[in-house]
Amino acid sequence: MKLLFLSLSLALVCAQEEGNNDVVTSNFNLRKISGGWYSILLASDHKEKIKENGSMRIFVEQIQALKNSSLYFKYHTLENGECSEISFVCDQTEKDGECAVEYDGHNIAVILETNYTDYLIYFTKNYKNGETTHVMELYGRKPDVSLKLKKKFLEYCKKHGIAKKNIIDLTKVDRCLQYQDGAQAQDPGWC
């Protein structure tokens, strides 16, 4: 009986640990990315692109995997106090988790990490008029994520040459959330 109890306990511990290791960094299942998302953090090596009224300051609402492995993105942008919708299809490239789209230039977006149920981190290279801009984004399934995930995002930014001062916490701004479940922007005070 003791052996049975020990085996059951060990199985539960292993299952619990396995649940904590569900971070995916390759071989992405795009269908699991489908659904509603919230923009949490936004960073760029050209901060003017993500400042208020910047062309890359867009707020995700939804991502849908399409049958051809492309991704449909539904965003909102805030211009002069008005929210408007932007949507586009990002076409899959030959590389895992990578897609290309024309938006304010040519963009190559790469999923860096997700656990499908809580967050998604991705990196975009934008090519326009001979200049390259790097943009990093953190999305959450809820209007905010843990401090631990925000710190992980900061490490990705450092790795991709984006300074901490170029990170914007979008939980502190109007993200056009009236389009998403009537949620309200929050001020978690993490920065």
Query: What percentage of the chain's residues is helix, strand, coil (to nearest 5)?
Result: 25, 40, 35
Residue 142 in tokens: 């809820």
CATH classification code of 22-179: 2.40.128.20
166-188 average pLDDT score: 67
The band of 187, judged by pLDDT with boundaries at 50, 70 and 90, is very low
Give me the pLDDT at residue 14, please: 40
161: left (phi over 0), alpha (psi -120 to 50) or beta: left
CA neighbours closer than 13 Å in the CB half-sphere of residue 116: 16
Range of weakest confidence among 2-6, 19-23, 41-45, 160-164: 2-6
Does this model's pTM top 0.85? My answer is: no
Q: Which pLDDT belongs to residue 173?
A: 79
Token representation of residue 181: 């479940």
- Each domain of the chain, given as residue ranges in start order, spans 22-179
